[in-house]
Chains A and B, each alone.
Chain A
Amino acid sequence: MSLRRLLIALALLLAPVGVGSALAHQQKIAISTVSLNSRTGMIEIAHQVPLHDAEHALRAQGITAPDIIGSAKSREAFARYVTKRFLLEVNGTAVEPSYVGSEIDGGSLWVYQEVLAPADGKAGLRFDSQILTDVWARQENRVNIGGGTHPETFIFKAGDAPREALLAR
């Protein structure tokens, strides 16, 4: 382990920023819903991210003039970022869900992905949502497993390990 990596690992053991502030526009939450669509045979993933948070993420990625509302290119750049930060294994195999698109609804940016579900409709998932945890240590992500109204929710913070759940039809 290089000194830099060691330092980083040490830093992660220290307390993250514990201070909140009355921000109107940085909610520091991303909610991802992973569900199985039996009509299409796909595992669908919908990420809901507050608009301004998404733009901050792009800036942190080195994109200096992002325009999450106005520019489809910016939204796609963010979607690519989300794809990198939302890690998914299906039945033990790492998968890269394809990018379906993104749209703005209310104050949120929605990013859609999908990946083919196993033929028997049972998917053992392993997943980790690190969306925006590289921008704010206080980022707190939710992953809802299941498309109905009683999903199983997992909360991820920076550096959290992947979690597992079964997604069934």
Chain B
Amino acid sequence: MRFVLIAAALLFALPAHAQGVQQTKGNFEDKFRQLDEVLPDANTYRTAGGAPGHEYWQQKVDYKITAQLDETKRRITARATVTYTNNSPDALPWLWMQLDQNIFKKDSMSELTDAFGGPGRRGPKVTLGTGSEPTKLSMEELRRQQAMADNEYGYDITAVTGVGGVKLPHTIVGTLMRIDLPGPLAPGETTQFEIEWAFNIVEEDAINARSGYENFPDDPKKGGNDIFLVAQWFPRMVVYSDYEGWHNKEFLGRGEFTLEFGDYDVEMTVPSDHIVASTGTLQNPDAVLTAAQRQRLETAKNAAEPVFVVTPQEAAAAEAGNPKGTKTWKFAATNVRDFAWASSRKFMWDAMGVKQPGAENETVLAMSFWPKEGGDLWRKYSTTAVAHTLKVYSRFSFDYPYPTAQSVNGPVGGMEYPMITFNGPRTILNKDGSRTYSLATKVGMVGVVIHEIGHIYFPMTVNSDERQWTWMDEGINSFLDSVAGYEWDPNMPWSRSIPRDMVSYMISSDQQPIMTQSDSITNLGSNAYGKPAAALHLLRDTIIGRERFDFAFKEYARRWKFKRPTPADFFRTMEEASGTDLDWFWRGWFYTTDHVDISLDSIYRLKMDSKNPDIDLPRRRQEREDEPGLVGTGLNKQQGLPIWVLENPGVTDFYDKNDEFTVTPKDRKSYTEFLDGLLPWERAAFDRAVKEDANYYVLSFSNKGGLVMPIILGLTFADGKTEKMMIPAEIWRRNAKEVAKLLVFPKGKELVQVVVDPEWETGDADIENNNYPRRIIPSRVEAFKDEASKARLSRDLMGEAAGAEPEKKRK
């Protein structure tokens, strides 16, 4: 046999198994190096398998809050009794609270450190082409700057008192506040204190705060009406955890929240004609809803489709009228990590029961609240999208753990809180009074509701640390929202979340690894949403497979339901529960900025020599004859040059009748000796190989992108048949730059074409080098030109079809 496998790579392998291990000779890079040297050590709080340890603990914080909404002043005034239970093994001399509203103070760290465009890149310097363009550039900033100048934002903390009304010393540090306790809070002990505060609600469209008010000046009521979305609205406890102690990380606006679970009793006093949507369940429907509304709410619990609780007519009447004093709405919520609410007289409200047989909450009320500006887009798709989300996400994790799941329309594009989400898409008002919306708005609407409701699972229940690791909720949630999206309608263009969508980001030279602290990331959407979602799709559909991936993912969700996981817990659980070593995958996708680009560089075809001269020599003669003739002798012939042997036909010898491939007795003798020299097992193997006369191919690959990936091969044979084959990523373990692989096919099964990643599963950045033989891959522009005549996606606009003309200046 004369095929030689490329084996030089094997010489480079060196062990790398301890922290501080360094490759000090050669250029070997171990892409499969154990991740344990990067991950924190396991302990009694978190196991090496990624589960909560036998001494896992977390703090508990319960709140009783009374709040007043001053609609005219757009101001919240509130008071809370906070009950803090120290489940940690540590005595705590003080408590820290988060004062998120303080980010809007003029001297906040966020305001002072926002480097506009970076050093030396200030001001409107866009001078190329259309010099007048920068005028439009700054309108958003202008509006914000004016809002900041005209208003005093941030918390007014008016009292912090302990038992018996004793004033507790407190120190405000930006968005954090330390409260000094009279004495250390011992492990297992509970303390209680009261806090009073007030703040001016920001205008969301000006400040972009994840919450705030929105004014509708065109409403019939004088001065218009507001929608209030109230969140980050009370001093929330800073997390004290086993892995970081107090999480004293200033709120800079990007990295979201890290919070403790607890029980809430909240009373909010609002204008009497407002409808309130809130985290929790309504405790006093008799006091705030009409008898008819209460009856409709009951009906909704068993309805197959959404039922109006507050009808469009009731909302229209409220919108045109005036309040008669105030009403107090009371809500209670158990085991939530946060609490948010919304209030407006503009809201209509629908509800539908989603059944979860056997679950703690067998009937979940999926509900939506929206103003007339939401129109049919909301009536048809909000509550139904909530219900769809619960079905898909529960399949991947656990039964929805709360009694309500709500979608509220207001000025926030999309934001999540326990049991309640804020979602922005709306209809367009036409001059004839009709309301229409585009297909992209519809996709956006369904997509954002799925995404934000999905957040009630991650991170509202699987309570990851958003401030540091955005990907743990946004990446996991983007993965699941696209799963739910494709299960809603596979033909809709859902948000970018699969590997092929991320190529242009992943090849860019300026980016950060996913495991970067949230506030330091550029292009958070690609880094913390799209790329981790693509990685998880790749794990599920290509590397692990759906059954084991879904099992492991569900186990992660189950283990960390109502607990606080870290990245290590996710990585370890996915490995342990799927039975797959994924250290290489986490390393590559989450700890580096490599991309996927595997090149198929060459294919050598090898034939088995039978050693039998009567078989091999004629075959070689045929091979020689199949080779192209010499160009020179062809030209000689064309020139009519005389050939000596043809001109002297009488002069011949043995060599004129026998070529170099003539079989001689010596050849046959040597063949017999070869056979006789084989051991019995060698003879059997040899005879079988000769008889089978298989096709041998050596495929050489190089890894140009850096990420090691399974090598997925699309094989096409001479008979036109195709096969898909997957070589696990571990083929790269000894040489992550170049590998060769021997493929064997039976006689008659000849390979004519091979394509790496034929279905574009891995996000391979260069398709051209995936093909053997090479093919010219048109650029995107060229490919588009070829297909341009097909006139894709030319569906009619709903409004255009009805001949409607949009109203330009009204919502």
Interface residues of A (CB under 8 A from B): 5, 7-9, 11-29, 31, 33, 35, 37, 39-40, 42, 44, 46, 48, 50-52, 54-55, 62, 64-72, 74, 84-85, 87-89, 94, 96, 100-101, 103-108, 110, 112, 114, 126, 128, 130, 133-138, 140, 142, 144, 147-155, 157-162
Contacts and interface: CB of A to CB of B under 8 A. Distances in A.
Contact of A106 (B415, B501, B525, B765): B501
B258 interface: no
Given A52-B444, A67-B438, A67-B797, A27 B124 contact: no
Contacts of B804: 65
Contacts of A154: 510
Nearest to B505: A31
Contact of A17 (B136, B144, B597): B144
Nearest to B442: A69
Contacts of A66: 438, 440
Given A13-B123, A20-B253, A149 B495 contact: no
20 contacts: A13-B116, A13-B123, A14-B145, A22-B416, A25-B414, A25-B447, A27-B530, A55-B441, A87-B129, A106-B501, A107-B494, A112-B780, A136-B140, A149-B704, A149-B766, A158-B138, A158-B141, A159-B117, A159-B121, A160-B121
Contacts of B792: 103-104
Given A8-B138, A89-B128, A67 B439 contact: yes
A149 B595 contact: yes
Nearest to A86: B129
Contacts of A71: 438, 794, 796-797, 800
Nearest to A85: B133
A9 B493 contact: no
B510 A153 contact: yes
Interface in B413-471: 413-416, 425, 428, 430, 436, 438-441, 443-444, 447-448, 450-452, 455
Given A24-B448, A149-B597, A150-B507, A16 B525 contact: no
Which of A28, A71, A100 has the most chain B CB atoms closer than 10 A to its own CB? A71
B529 interface: yes
Which of B124, B145, B440 has the most chain A CB atoms closer than 10 A to its own CB? B440
B195 interface: no
Which of A18, A85, A154, A160 has the most chain B CB atoms closer than 10 A to its own CB? A18
A160 B127 CA distance: 10
B472 interface: no
Contact of B123 (A9, A46, A105, A133): A9
A128 B523 CA distance: 17
Interface in B376-428: 412-416, 425, 428
Interface in B484-502: 493-498, 500-501
A34 to B, nearest CB: 11
Contacts of B129: 84, 87, 94, 96
B408 to A, nearest CB: 14
Contacts of B784: 100-101, 103, 110, 112
A138 B444 CA distance: 20
A142 B123 contact: no
Interface stretch (B26-34, B59-67, B207-215, B751-759): B207-215
Nearest to A143: B508
A36 to B, nearest CB: 10
A107 B439 contact: no
Interface in B142-169: 142, 144-145
B371 to A, nearest CB: 18
Contacts of A62: 808
A54 B493 CA distance: 13
B126 A52 contact: no
A21 B785 contact: no
A87 B529 CA distance: 29
A95 to B, nearest CB: 9
Contact of A21 (B114, B414, B438, B441): B414
A159 to B, nearest CB: 5
B231 to A, nearest CB: 10
A6 B125 CA distance: 13
A72 B794 contact: yes
B781 interface: yes
Which of A15, A35, A105 has the most chain B CB atoms closer than 10 A to its own CB? A15
Contacts of A35: 779
Given A8-B124, A20-B253, A25-B447, 14 more contacts: A8-B137, A11-B141, A11-B142, A14-B145, A16-B114, A21-B415, A24-B447, A54-B440, A67-B438, A70-B440, A94-B129, A130-B133, A149-B595, A159-B123
A30 B770 CA distance: 27
B103 interface: yes
Given A106-B500, A159-B134, A149 B705 contact: yes
Given A18-B254, A114-B781, A153-B509, A24 B140 contact: no
Contacts of A50: 495-496, 525
B112 to A, nearest CB: 8
A69 B209 CA distance: 29
A37 B137 contact: no
Contact of B509 (A114, A133, A152): A152
Nearest to B769: A149
A101 to B, nearest CB: 5
Contact of A37 (B135, B500, B781): B781
A68 B442 CA distance: 11
Given A11-B142, A25-B413, A84-B130, A18 B111 contact: yes
Given A25-B448, A40-B782, A8 B134 contact: yes
B111 A15 contact: yes
A24 B414 contact: yes
B481 interface: yes
A149 B705 CA distance: 8
A67 B481 contact: no
A70 B797 contact: yes
A135 B136 CA distance: 8
Contact of B452 (A22, A40, A112, A136): A22
Interface in B763-798: 765-766, 776, 779-782, 784-785, 787-788, 791-797
A142 to B, nearest CB: 5
A167 B130 CA distance: 23
A161 B523 CA distance: 19
A48 B507 CA distance: 14
B440 A68 contact: yes
Contacts of B610: none
Which of A17, A65, A103 has the most chain B CB atoms closer than 10 A to its own CB? A65
Nearest to A83: B129
A55 to B, nearest CB: 5
B127 to A, nearest CB: 8
B128 to A, nearest CB: 4
B254 to A, nearest CB: 5
Given A64-B808, A107-B496, A14 B141 contact: yes
The 6 residue pairs across chains A and B that have the minimum distance between CB atoms: A24-B451, A15-B114, A27-B525, A64-B806, A67-B438, A87-B128
A51 B781 contact: no
B401 to A, nearest CB: 19
A101 B790 CA distance: 12
Nearest to A63: B806
A3 B559 CA distance: 60
A31 B111 CA distance: 28
